[in-house]
Structure 1
Amino acid sequence: MRRVVVIGATGHTGSYLVPRLVRAGHEVIAVSRGERTPHQDRPEWEAVQQVVADRRAEDAEGTFGERIAALRPDAVIDMICFTPDSARQLVEALRPTRPLLVHCGSIWVHGPAQRVPITEDEPRTPYGDYGLGKAAIEELLHRETLAGGVPSVVLHPGHISGPGRRAITPAGNMDPDVWRRLAVGEPVALPALGMGILNHVHADDVAQAFERALTRPAAAGSSFHVVAEQAMTSRGLATGVAAWFGRTPVLEFVDWPEFVDRVGEEHAAVTREHIERGIAADITRARDVLGYAPRYSSLEAMQGSLRWMVAHNQADVGGQFF
């Protein structure tokens, strides 16, 4: 049994992770802003110590790292670190006792792929504040481990899906009308001949990887991709979603200007962010070192999200059942 502090514990992945840790026999301290409850009401939460903290405010004051260190953790799972400065403060506070630090990164540490499937050893070419920040944090944590400081493990999830979270659509954006069109048989526009690559993963599979990282000493100092067994193309995902409703999708492959005209600049910008990277992430290292074994395919993770979205009035499938 280990004393595990989970930062961002009541978020989407944390809602799956914390019960897993309790069932595994760990003593769990859940740190969050206290503004929401886990989206899954599990009895394991009764055994969890809750700590309310506003990380952003306490980072600004330089006190958050010390607050976490004062909890005397054997391991810290950090789900919500987005800047190198925030990571540095936490590492410096943990350095005297050196608990294991498991950080939630992102496959967006990779820019446009040149070789697929892409491995963790591929040179980092991120862009955008989010990808650049996650890549810088990864570098900082690995330097710390190599220097004999706080041992760290970095996990890079793909597009996290499943009940409790809106999924990236087959068009690579958050446009809810994509679901309706696929459900009722209306045309769906896709750019790039529908060959854009998307790498979904169910939140419980991400939670599985974090749980395993706590008990794999060989993982320290390494990064791991955490995605479904296979990435899928936009047209493949659209075909799979339409099949849930007994349909063959009506797909219209359009050039980029027409796609922008049809879906709007906001949704088109999100699509471009997702598909231009072309990331099909390899999970061999996670299998070999962590024993990671994803339970859900990309489509199954997406279906869990859509069922939840429909039940919570966040998606309209035209009254269809699936």
Structure 2
Amino acid sequence: MRVVVIGSTGHVGSYLVPRLVRAGHEVVAVSRGRATPYHDDPAWDEVERVVLDRDALEAEGRFGAEIAGLRGDAVIDMICFTADSATQLVKALRGSTGLHAHCGTIWTHGLSTTLPMREDDPKHPFGDYGVQKKEIEDLLLAESRSGGLASTVIHPGHISGPGWPVINPVGNLDPTVWTTLATGGRLRIPGSGSETMHHVHADDVAQLFELAVAKPEVAAGESFHALSEQALTVRGFAEGAAAWFGREADLEPVSWEAFRAGTDEGHADASWQHLHRSQVGSIEKPKQQLGYRPAYSSLDAARQAVASLAERGQVDLGGATLTA
């Protein structure tokens, strides 16, 4: 198949494009500039690279037509964030593309009412990101199920892996949390420590997109969670991360008020956004229907990310060494 990947050099695309090449597909990698993928791979030498400024072209009403002109049997969209953007692409691809795969988010669920969350459970998202991604999902699934453009939606959890910061055990991107765990310091955690986060390695997200492209007749009109086998609680995540350095986590549960008072406002808000949702997702549907088998646990994915950050000097581990 000829597969067009929009947002090809990002976290997931850096794994996805080589996967598609190795699976025998002809790949067209679309990006806003000549960004280097997160990971070197000889497969990129076989890829057609196309530079398109999505924002500018959408403002002119031409982005969908540009993508349709690339003649993809399948189009994978990693960077669509509004229903208007999705609509422009769908109209242009309708009747000419076999499968349109969209990258969503488990935040379309909002606050969960049953655990683990299933893809078809009632959803009550909040916040612009989750709400808009839910609007896109509704639009695409309705389009597909009514006989229009065949579309599928892949919902990742907290994407992790080497090359970029990872959501830490208190639900934000503060690098000093890793320093505290690595050096045996006391870590203040908001709430009880039983709140959950569901991470996933970027390569496992890429795996699920690859499987959807391989089975378009199964994927069309459906949504799927891209997650690790198990979520982590705040306490379990912190204890697992401390063990990387041969330490035990020294945790101090505090109220949200106390946590906010002693934490940077941006980090505190991120913690609330992640931990207030306290999500755990099921992956039975993609396992049964597409053969999805995540290769990384949540802790494995986070460990790779922290090791990469330390190698690049973006996190201070206080001289500690990852030992587990």
2:228–2:297 Cα contact (<8 Å) kept: yes
Counterpart amino acid of 2:312?
A: H
1:229: which partner in 2?
229
Distance across 2 between alignment mates of 1:35 and 1:261: 42
SS at match of 2:277: coil
Q: Separation in 2 of the partners of 1:319 and 1:273?
A: 32
The two structures have a TM-score, normalised by structure 2, of 0.98
Structure-1 residue corresponding to 2:84 = 85
The CA deviation at 1:263 is 1.6
Give the aligned CA root-mean-square deviation in angstroms: 0.8
Which whole-Å deviations, capped at 9, do the CAs of 1:48-68 have from their partners, x for residues lacking one?
Answer: 000000111111111000000
- Cα distance between partner residues in 2 of 1:22 and 1:271: 38
Residue in 1 aligned with 2:143? 144
Query: Would you say the 8 A contact 1:98–1:149 is kept in 2?
Result: no
For residue 35 of structure 1, report the CA deviation from its aligned partner.
4.4
Paired residue for 2:258? Answer: 258
Could you give the per-residue CA deviations for residues 135-187 of structure 1, whole angstroms, max 9, x where no partner exists?
Answer: 00000001110121110110000000001121000010011100000000001
CA distance in 2, matches of 1:320, 1:179: 11
What is the TM-score with the length of structure 1 in the denominator? 0.98
1:305 — aligned with what? 305
Give matches, 1:26-45, under 5 Å: 26-45=25-44
| Matched residue, 1:22 | 21
Aligned length: 321
Amino acid at match of 1:39: Y
* Percent of residue pairs bearing the same amino acid type: 54
Q: CA deviation at 1:121?
A: 1.1
Match of residue 291 from structure 1: 291
One-letter code of the match for 1:71?
L
SS of residue in 1 equivalent to 2:309: helix
Q: What displacement does 1:319 show?
A: 1.4
| Map of 2:211 onto structure 1 | 212
How far did 1:114 drift?
A: 1.1
Q: Does the 8 A contact of 2:71 with 2:97 survive in 1?
A: no
* Contact map agreement 2:81 2:132 (CA 8 A) in 1: yes
Q: Which amino acid aligns with 1:221?
A: G
How far, CA to CA, are the matches of 1:6 and 1:148 in structure 2? 23
Give the match's secondary structure for 2:159: strand
Counterpart of 1:189 in structure 2 is 188
Give the 4+ runs in structure 1 shifted more than 2 A: none
Unaligned runs of 5+ in 2: none
In 2: Cα distance, 1:278 partner to 1:246 partner: 28
Residue deviations 1:102-135, cap 9 Å, x none? 1000000011111100111111111111101100
AA in 2 matched with 1:104:
C
Q: Provide the rounded CA distance (Å) in 2 between the counterparts of 1:28 and 1:109.
A: 29
Which one-letter code corresponds to 2:114 in the other structure?
R
**Whole-angstrom distance in 1 between the partners of 2:34 and 2:236:** 38
Partner of 1:11: 10
Q: Distance in 2 between matches of 1:172 and 1:150?
A: 37
Q: State how far apart, in whole Å, the 2-side matches of 1:315 and 1:253 are.
A: 24
Cα separation, 2, equivalents of 1:262 and 1:179: 17
